[in-house]
Structure formats: C-alpha cells, structure tokens
Amino acid sequence: MEIVTSWMQQGLQQGLQQGSILNAKESVINILETRFGAIPKNLTETVNKTEDITLLKNLRKQAILVNSLEEFKKILT
C-alpha cells in the first residue's frame, strides 16, 4: 500500500509542477500580448520550450517591467 501511495504522491507532484509551468508560460505570453499586441511566433515558441519554473517566473516579471519586445527578446538570449 505504501508503494501505491508514494507513486500517487509522485504523480500528483509532477502534475502540479507541469501545471505551474504551463500557467507561467501562458502568463508570460498573455502579459506580452496585452502590453505589446501580437508577438512573434518565434518568441512564443521560445517561451513555450522553457521548462525551468524559476526562469519562467523571472520572465513573467520581466514581461511586466520591460519597455519593449526587443528588450524582452534580449533577456531571452
């Protein structure tokens, strides 16, 4: 029984992490679209390829603070 519970907890944890990552990606893209209008497809793809939650949280903050899409693109590189 402990093995099943441990497996379920691990699955739940992974699901929560993936949900947080997806939410952060969507937030970054939504903020940029709200602030600057349509954003280039390659920028959206780069954000969507990012799997590091800490980096995504930082990108979300930067999406709020930057003055232009060009400035945001420099942060991504």
Phi-psi region of 37 (alpha: psi -120 to 50; beta: other; left: phi over 0): left
Question: Which of 60, 66, 69, 72 shows the shortest CA–CA distance to 23?
Answer: 60
Ranking 1-5, 9-13, 43-47, 56-60 by mean pLDDT, the lowest is 1-5
In the chain, count H helices and then E strands.
4, 0
What is the per-residue pLDDT across 11-50, written as a single tens digit (0 to 9) for each? 777 877 888 999 999 999 999 999 999 999 999 999 999 9
Least confident of 3-12, 41-50, 55-64: 3-12
Q: Which residue has the tokens 């990108």?
A: 59
Tell me the residue range of the domain where 68 lies. Answer: 2-76
Task: Specify the number of domains making up the chain.
Answer: 1
